[in-house]
């Protein structure tokens, strides 16, 4: 566990010392929240949802912040490859499973911090939390999103050596995931032919779980959301661990 803690602490220190990274990663979520939230709040009507569009949008933007931060934390693997840190770590008398677990927990923690920052901003913009218990539920779903998509990013980065290629592939993957997750629109309003695609999107269950925690409403049963997202997290961590063990330096 000392190895896991050391790698986790390295991630946290690098994150907290990089103010430009913290501020930069807040740009897109705040843009969506302010422009779409205030711009469409008086125009978009959500019958049966129990809140205005700004309230509906906020959980989706929080999940987007967690998603982007967690997925792109995988680029740290490629960075460590190029600068030799990963080679020194892999030749140490520790298991690759511990190294991968430390990387995953570090990326998930930074993504959780990023999501909490957006949540705090949302409170100043008028978001009303349902209960403190609901806040903890939302945090649990943020942790699951962070763990699963950090492991996903590590799995992809384990097979790559080019940072620019990694970024292009991640953009190609995560934008459809975000677009189909129901973060920007109610799932119940989608055409019947596209609904199966949204139900195949693991992020959709995270978005609805966070929405249930913060607002007390969800279009998918929150217990089912937790089971699906937890299962996806276990699956991605298993895949990420397998590919990381096969990594070649």
Q: To 10 degrees, the CA torsion angle through 214, 217, 223, 225?
A: -80
Q: Is the pLDDT of residue 2 over 80?
A: no
Question: Under a CB-based contact definition with an 8 Å cutoff, are residues 167 and 92 in contact?
Answer: no
pLDDT at 11: 80
Lowest mean pLDDT among 98-112, 162-176, 215-229: 162-176
- The pTM is what? 0.90
- Of 25-39, 165-179, 195-209, 217-231, where does mean pLDDT reach its minimum? 25-39
Whole-number pLDDT of residue 223? 93
- pLDDT for 51 equals 67
Task: Report which DSSP code applies to 18.
Answer: -
Choice between 200 and 80, residue whose per-residue pLDDT is larger = 200
Please write the tens of the pLDDT for every residue from 21-44: 777 777 778 887 877 766 666 666
User: Residues 116-163: pLDDT tens digits?
Assistant: 998 888 888 777 776 788 889 999 999 999 999 999 988 888 887 777
Is the pLDDT at 104 greater than 80? The verdict is yes
What whole-number percentage of the chain has pLDDT above 70?
A: 89
Average pLDDT over residues 106-112: 91
Q: Is the pLDDT of residue 86 over 80?
A: no
pLDDT band at 210 (very low <50, low <70, confident <90, very high): very high
Question: Residue for token digits 């970024």?
Answer: 167
Q: Give the dihedral of Cα atoms 233, 20, 124, 178; nearest 10 deg.
A: -40
Q: What is the mean pLDDT of the chain?
A: 83
Model confidence at 179: pLDDT above 90 = no
DSSP structure class, residue 33: I
pLDDT (0 to 100) of residue 144? 95
pLDDT, tens only, 218-249 = 888 999 999 999 999 999 999 988 888 877 66
- Separation between Cα atoms, residue 18 and residue 84, nearest integer Å: 21
CA–CA dist 209, 181 (Å, integer): 12
pLDDT at 249: 65
What's the pLDDT score for residue 174?
A: 86
């Amino acid at each position: 566990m000392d190895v896991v803690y050391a790698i986790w602490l390295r991630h946290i220190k690098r994150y907290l010392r990089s103010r430009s990274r913290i501020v930069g990663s807040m740009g897109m979520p705040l843009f969506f929240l302010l422009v779409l939230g205030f711009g469409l709040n008086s125009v978009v009507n959500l019958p049966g949802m129990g809140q205005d569009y700004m309230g509906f949008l906020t959980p989706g933007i929080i999940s987007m912040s967690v998603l982007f931060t967690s997925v792109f934390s995988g680029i740290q693997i490629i960075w460590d490859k190029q600068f030799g840190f990963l080679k020194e770590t892999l030749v140490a008398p520790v298991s690759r499973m511990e190294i991968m677990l430390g990387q995953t927990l570090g990326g998930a923690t930074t993504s959780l911090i990023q999501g909490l920052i957006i949540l705090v901003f949302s409170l100043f913009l008028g978001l009303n939390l349902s209960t403190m218990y609901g806040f903890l539920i939302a945090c649990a779903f943020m942790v699951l999103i962070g763990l699963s998509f950090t492991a996903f990013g590590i799995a992809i980065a384990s097979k790559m050596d080019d940072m620019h290629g990694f970024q292009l592939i991640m953009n190609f993957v995560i934008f459809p995931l975000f677009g189909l997750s129901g973060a920007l629109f109610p799932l119940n309003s989608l055409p019947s032919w596209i609904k199966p695609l949204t139900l195949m999107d693991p992020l959709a269950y995270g978005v609805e779980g966070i929405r249930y925690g913060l607002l007390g409403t969800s279009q998918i049963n929150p217990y089912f959301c937790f089971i699906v997202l937890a299962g996806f997290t276990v699956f991605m961590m298993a895949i990420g661990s397998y590919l990381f063990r096969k990594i070649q330096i």
